[in-house]
Structure formats: C-alpha cells, structure tokens
Structure 1
Amino acid sequence: MSIIVTGGDGYLGWPTALRIADRTDERVVLVDNFARREWVEEVGATSATPISWPEERLAAAAEVHGLRNLSFVEADLTDRAAVDQLLQVHEPSAVVHTAAQPSAPYSNLNGERANYTQHNNMQATRNLAFGLAENDMADTHLIETTTTGVYGAPEFPIPEGGATMENQGERDDVPFPAMAGSWYHQTKCHDAANLRLAHKQFDIPISDVRTAIVYGTETEETRPDDRLKTRFDFDYYFGVVAHRFAAQAVAGYPLTVYGKGEQRKPFISLEDAVEGLARLAVGDPDDRPSDHVVYNQVTRPIAIVEMAETIQEVGEELGLDVDVTHVENPRDEDETHQMEIENERYMDLVGGQSQTFAEGVRDILETLTRYEETITSHEDRFLPDVLKEDAEE
C-alpha cells in the first residue's frame, strides 16, 4: 500500500508529501511531469528559491529527516494509461491530488492557454476517479485541492460546501452555485461537480478541499536544508498577491493597494494547508470519511490593505524601508467587499490556526532577502503597471 501525492514537485505538493512521509510507514509516491516549471519559464519568470530536482530532494529528506519511504514517478495524469499503471503498481490507500495548472491569469491569457488549462486539470481528475473505480480501488480516499474561488464573492456568508435552496415553499440542500471568475477557476467548479458524481456513482470516499490563497515559504520539514525548499513564485501569473507585495518590498518599491483595498480575500498559510492535507491522508482510519465531504481550507479572510500594512510592519522590523500607497483601481471590483466564509469543519480537522499572517510574512521576507538579486532581476514580472511607469521615468 502507498499514498500518492500528485503535483509532488509543486509548491503545495512537495511539503505535503514530506509531512505525510513523516507520519506514516507507507510508501509515499510523488507524481509530477514538471509542467509547472515549464509554465513559469514560459512567462519569463522563475522561482525565487532555487528548487532541487526530485533525486536531490529525496536524498536530502533521507539525510535530514530520515525519511526513506519517499519515491518519485514522472507521469502525465492526462494520460489514462499512465494513471492506470500508477494505481495498479502502487495500490494507494489515499490519493492527495494537488496537480493542476493553478493560475487564473495564465488561463486567461488567450484561448490556447484556456483550452490547455481546462483539458489538463479536468482530464487529470477524471482519470483518477475512473482509474480508482475501474481498477477495483473504490475504497481509496481521493483528496483533491479545488479552490475557494468556486464560490465567487457573494454578499452572504459562504457555507462549507452546500447551501439550502427554497422554492415554492419546499427546501433542500444543494451544492453551492459555481461562480468562477477565470477559466482556471471554472476547471475547479467542474472538478467539484465531477467529484460529487464520482462519489455517487462509484462510492469513492472523497474530500473536496477548497483551498484559499496560500502564502508562505517554509514548513517544519522544509526549513532545515535548502535542498528541501519548495518553490516560491512572485510573478504576476503564478505568484499570489501577498508574495508579489513581499517582492515589491524586497525590491524597494512601495506596496500598491488598488483603491481602498478593504475587500477581504480568503487566506491560509502554507503550514496550515499542508497540515490539513496530511491529516486527511494519514489520520485514524476509523475517522476517514466514507462520504463526499467539502472542507473550506481557509483560516480567515484578510483585507488587501491589512495585508500590505502587515508586510510593511514586519518588513520594517527586518530593516526594510517599506511604503504603502493607494493607486487608482484598474479592476471592476467592490473595494469594500467583506467576504465571510465558514470553516468550522476544516478548523476542527487541523485543530486551529498554527501560523498567523504576520508570522508567515516574516518567513517570506526572511527568505526573499536571501534571494534579492533574483527578485530585482525579474521585477518586470511582478511590478504593477503604475510602478513600471515610474521606474521608466
């Protein structure tokens, strides 16, 4: 038996695999085709942290942590035959599916990228679901990271998965309506629907982990050795807003808040995201869900302006001169939207938040200052247009 982690070369997949390997005697099989490295290079960006290749990573995991139950398979999950072979050889008790093209801006670049994103993401998930069902592994726990982006930005509190609909005096629980804002997010709406159908048709135990915006550079397992570092993207296409703000701070540019910046977005630290996935994969077998369960993998919503001011405060503690400036908002959005999202089920799973946003920011800035030259040499990849114009003057 084994536990498979797809996207095992990625930002979330690699540290998740390390934690799972530390908590089980089962073989932990990382699966990836290195596409994320290609996508980032394609848009002229790079990881701020040097990322080792699997052979060096696994050697470091054995040397530093004594983890000898990790292995790596290069495979493309859109290839059904490859998925069947993977499942038949390794007979997983759980599959943690973190593999996807995760960038909304990349998916919105043009029709080619939109089509690629939709095919890549949904085909991989369908192949895993049908692979488990048709290889007599319907009792394998399928854990997928979808996204809180499937909810959109409603004015009412977002439930943890479902909603109650009333029509002509009758009430029923229904899936929350999909309100994607990009071709990438739409793939996760389809994945969520397909996961429900896979459970209904095949009786596969499924955890749909709707992941918020993940920030941070380190987990307990990656911290001791640079060979164990996970990737850190800070560009417009693959870097989340907190990471781009941190890059601006390190490069000596002001943090540009669009408009009021009071709108709240759902966030979770890398540490807390890894913990939730690990607990789902290697928790007490008696506690493993036999149903289809939705988790809102978020610790709390954070306002954009609060995020910038926290980076400013922590940066100044570390000796950086950080300014926050408000600029005209080029986007059509509610700058005061106060997102509320229920997360009781997820917080019960992880036992509460283990890392605050300020603690995660400190990790980020301490890491990025080590790689300042990489940041500044790629500043055209993360600076907003207003700062690019100022830099050119």
Structure 2
Amino acid sequence: MTIAITGGDGYLGWPTALRIADRTDERVVLVDNLARREWVESVGSTSGLPIASIDERLAAARDVHGLRNLSFVEGDLTDKDFVETLLSVHEPETIVHTAAQPSAPYSQIDGERANFTQHNNMQATRNLLWGLEEHDLTDTHFVETTTTGVYGAPEFPIPEGGAVMENQDGRDEVPFPAMAGSWYHLTKSHDAANMRLAHKQFDIPISDVRTAITYGTETEETAVDRRLSTRFDFDYYFGVVAHRFCAQAVAGYPMTVYGRGEQRKPFIALEDAVEGLARLALSDPDARPDDHTVYNQVTRAISIVEMAETIADVAGEFDLDVDVEHFENPRDEDETHKMEIEYDRYETLIDGQSTTFEEGVRSILGRLLEHEDTIVAHEDRFLPGVLAED
C-alpha cells in the first residue's frame, strides 16, 4: 500500500505526512514542486520560522521518529506526463491532495496571477482524477483539502456539504452553489464540482475536506526537532489573519483589523486539521465509505476583532504591549457577517478533540519570539504594497 501526499513540502502537507507515516508501516510518498517557497519570496517575504530543505526534513524524520517509510518526489502536478508516471510507478491506494496555490490575496493581485492560480490548482486536480481513471485506480481514496471559502458568506447556516432545495413538487439535496469571493476560492469551488463528477462517472471514493482558516506552528511530530518545523507565513498575501496578528504582536506593530472586524470566520488549529486528514488517509479500505463525502474542517467560528483582542490578551503573558487598530478594509466583504457553519461530521471524525484558540496563540507567540528579528525585518509585508519583483 502507498499513500501519496501532494503538497508534501507545505504548511499542512508536511505535518500531515509525518503523522501518517508515524502511524503506518506503509510507504508514504511526498509530492511537491517546491513552488510555495518561491511564491512567498516573490512577494518579498519569508517563513517566520526557518524551514529546512526537504532532504534535511526527511533525514530528521528518520533520526527523530525513525520514519524510514517517507520518500519524496519532485514534480509539477499540472504536467500530465509527470502525473502519469507518478501513478503508474507508485499506484497509491490513497491520495491526500493538499497541493495548491493557496492565497486569495495573491490570486487577486493581477490577471496574470489569477490565471496562474486557476490553471495551477484546477489542472493539478483534473490530472490526478483522470489519471486514476486511466490507470485503473478508481478504488483509490481521493482526499482533497478544498476550503470553507467555497461557501462565501450566506445569510443562513452553512451545511456540511450540499444544500436542500425545495418547491411544491418535492425536495432534494444539491451541491452547494459556488459563492466564492476570490479567484483562488473559485478554483476550489471548481475542484469540488470536478470531484463530484469524478465520483459519479468513475466511482472514485472522494473526501472533500473543506478546510477553515488554519492556525498554529506545531504538531506533536514537528515540535520534537526544529528541523521538522513546518512553514509559517505572516505577510499580507500568504499569512492567514491569525498568523499575521501574532507576528504583528511580536514586532510591536498594531494589529490591523480591517473595517469593523465583526465578521465571523471559521477556524481550526493545525493539530486538529492534521488529525482529521491522517484519520481519513488511514481509514480501513474495507470499512470506509465508497461515496462522495464533504467534511467542514472547522472547530469554531470567531470574529476578527475578537480574535485580535484574544491575541492581545495572550501577548500580555509574554510582556508584549499590543494595540488593536482598525484600518480601511481593502476587501469587499460584509464586516458584520455572523457566520454559522455545521461541522458535526468532522467533529465526529476527530472524536471531538479540539485545540483552543488561546492554546494555539500561546504556542505561536512562543515560537515567533525565537525569531523576532526575522519578523521585524519583514514588517513592511504586513500590509499590501509593492511586490519585490515590481
């Protein structure tokens, strides 16, 4: 048996691969083209935590955890020939597909980056799905991290998957309409539709894991050795809001709440996100559903301003004096939207365990203070501005 993890060098893919490899003797193949490192550099930023090369990471995994079942393949999933070779050589029984250009702000910079994001993300997914069909691997469990951003910000509770349509003639569950708010989020809406079609046409078992805003610096496996650290982005383009706020706190920079900041967003700790993906990847092939299943990978919703205030409170434990300031919102969004989202299926998957937001922030601040100089040197990247290559 082989489990393939695409985006295996990434923020979520790397710690997920470690956990899966630690829980099985089967081969775990990491796949990546290492482009995320280049994208972040192109906007003038860097990871807030030093990240080792993939070779150093694999060596550390062997030294620290005794993991000799991890291997790495470098390649571009938009290249159909590469995907053909990958599938024919390794014949994975499970694919955890975390590879993507993951930034909404990056996809909004200009038409070139919007086009690149859409081609990169959707072509990779299509190549994998069609590759499974064409290589007679349709029993392979295909797990993809899409995003809760496919739902947009509707004024009703968001279901875990489809939406119920009803009229005088009857009712049925239909795919949730694509209400994405960026060129990136729309790629995941298309991926969700393509996965549904691949299940219908090819009978591939699909787990569509709609990942919330993920925060945190460590998991149980990465915390043991600094060479195992996953990346931590904090700039405007690639840093999620919780990470950017924590970095601002460390740099002594006001936390930049855009507009009123009362809109609620779905969040999940890195530890909880990794746990769910590992459980799906390692599910018994004879026991898992052979269906198309949607999971809302969420453990709580929190408003932006409440999040900033919580980070400011926890920062006080580290003697950091942090201000929360409101700035004009560069995004077109409802600054008071009170999101409600169902996540019963995902909560059951991880047995209800959940890292609290305060615990996650405390861990983030502790790690970032070790690299305060790096954060301060790049504090001009907290806000949108001129890119390094422009």
TM category (shorter chain) comes to over 0.9
Contact 2:257 2:305 in 1 (8 A): yes
1:248 Cα offset (Å): 0.8
For 1:195 and 1:184, the matched residues in 2 are separated by 17
Residue 332 to residue 116, structure 1, CA distance change in 2 (3 Å): closer
Contact 2:58 2:70 in 1 (8 A): yes
Matched, 1:344 2:356: no
Q: State TM-score, norm by structure 1.
A: 0.96
Q: Which amino acid aligns with 2:290?
A: S
For 1:247 and 1:381, the matched residues in 2 are separated by 11
For 1:231 and 1:363, the matched residues in 2 are separated by 14
Matched, 1:166 2:166: yes
Partner of 2:76: 76
Deviates more, 1:220-229 or 1:314-323: 314-323
Contact 2:299 2:354 in 1 (8 A): no
For 1:37 and 1:257, the matched residues in 2 are separated by 27
1:91 Cα offset (Å): 1.3
Matched, 1:18 2:18: yes
For 1:362 and 1:330, the matched residues in 2 are separated by 29
Matched, 1:238 2:229: no
1:363 Cα offset (Å): 1.1
Partner of 1:193: 193
User: Secondary structure at 2:224's aligned position in 1?
Assistant: coil
1:314-333 aligned at under 5 Å gives the runs 314-333=314-333
User: Secondary structure at 2:296's aligned position in 1?
Assistant: strand
For 2:54 and 2:332, the matched residues in 1 are separated by 42
Q: State TM-score, norm by structure 2.
A: 0.97
Partner of 2:360: 360
Residue 297 to residue 34, structure 1, CA distance change in 2 (3 Å): same
Superposition RMSD in Å:
1.3
Contact 2:237 2:384 in 1 (8 A): no
User: Secondary structure at 2:58's aligned position in 1?
Assistant: helix
1:331 Cα offset (Å): 4.0
Q: Which amino acid aligns with 1:341?
A: I
1:144 Cα offset (Å): 0.3
Residue 330 to residue 8, structure 1, CA distance change in 2 (3 Å): closer
User: Secondary structure at 1:287's aligned position in 2?
Assistant: coil
Q: Which amino acid aligns with 2:66?
A: G
1:107 Cα offset (Å): 0.6
Matched, 1:31 2:31: yes
User: Secondary structure at 1:285's aligned position in 2?
Assistant: coil
For 1:257 and 1:384, the matched residues in 2 are separated by 14
Unaligned runs of 5+ in 2: none
Deviates more, 1:194-203 or 1:312-321: 312-321
Contact 1:248 1:383 in 2 (8 A): no
Residue 302 to residue 353, structure 1, CA distance change in 2 (3 Å): farther
1:330 Cα offset (Å): 4.6
User: Secondary structure at 2:60's aligned position in 1?
Assistant: helix
Output one character per residue of 1:99-136: Cα deviation in whole Å (capped at 9) or x when no partner.
00000111111111111111100000000001111101
1:172 Cα offset (Å): 1.3
Residue 335 to residue 92, structure 1, CA distance change in 2 (3 Å): same
For 1:190 and 1:334, the matched residues in 2 are separated by 24
What is the number of equivalent residue pairs in this alignment? 386
For 2:54 and 2:162, the matched residues in 1 are separated by 39
Residue 32 to residue 329, structure 1, CA distance change in 2 (3 Å): closer
Output one character per residue of 1:26-81: Cα deviation in whole Å (capped at 9) or x when no partner.
10000000110111111111001111111110110111111110000001000111
1:1-393 aligned at under 5 Å gives the runs 1-383=1-383
For 2:334 and 2:140, the matched residues in 1 are separated by 42
Residue 30 to residue 330, structure 1, CA distance change in 2 (3 Å): closer
Unaligned runs of 5+ in 1: 389-393
Contact 2:271 2:355 in 1 (8 A): yes
User: Matched residues, percent identical?
Assistant: 77
Contact 2:2 2:26 in 1 (8 A): yes
1:261 Cα offset (Å): 1.7
For 1:311 and 1:176, the matched residues in 2 are separated by 33
1:384 Cα offset (Å): 6.7
Q: Which amino acid aligns with 2:173?
A: D
Contact 1:25 1:69 in 2 (8 A): yes
Partner of 1:391: none
Q: Which amino acid aligns with 1:63?
A: D
Contact 1:160 1:343 in 2 (8 A): yes
